[in-house]
C-alpha cells in the first residue's frame, strides 16, 4: 500500500497535540505512556516528561 505524503495532512492536528509534540521534540521528552516514561527515566537518569516523571512521585 502506498500513501501519498499529501494524504498525511488532510486533517488538522489539534493545537494541544501539536504543542505536546513540539515540546517533546525540542526537549527530548517521551510521548509514550507513563510506564514507558518511568522506565526511560530509571534507565537513563534523563527527564522523560515535563517536570521529571519520577520527581512527581508517579509509580510504575
The pLDDT score that the predictor gives to residue 4 is 87
pLDDT mean by block of 10 residues, the chain; 60 residues: 82 89 88 88 85 57
Please tell me the predicted confidence (pLDDT) of residue 60.
47
pTM of the model: 0.56
Residue 41: how many other CB atoms lie within 10 Å: 19
CA-based nearest residue to 50, from 11, 25, 23:
23
Residue with cell 534507565: 43
pLDDT score, position 16: 93
Q: Which three cell numbers stand for residue 55?
A: 520527581
* Cell output for 4: 501519498
Q: Which residue has the cell 537513563?
A: 44
Amino acid at each position: 500500500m502506498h500513501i501519498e505524503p499529501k494524504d498525511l495532512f488532510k486533517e488538522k492536528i489539534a493545537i494541544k497535540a501539536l504543542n505536546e509534540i513540539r515540546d517533546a521534540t525540542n526537549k527530548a521528552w517521551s510521548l509514550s505512556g507513563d510506564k514507558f516514561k518511568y522506565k526511560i527515566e530509571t534507565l537513563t537518569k534523563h527527564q522523560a516528561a515535563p517536570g521529571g516523571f519520577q520527581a512527581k512521585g508517579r509509580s510504575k
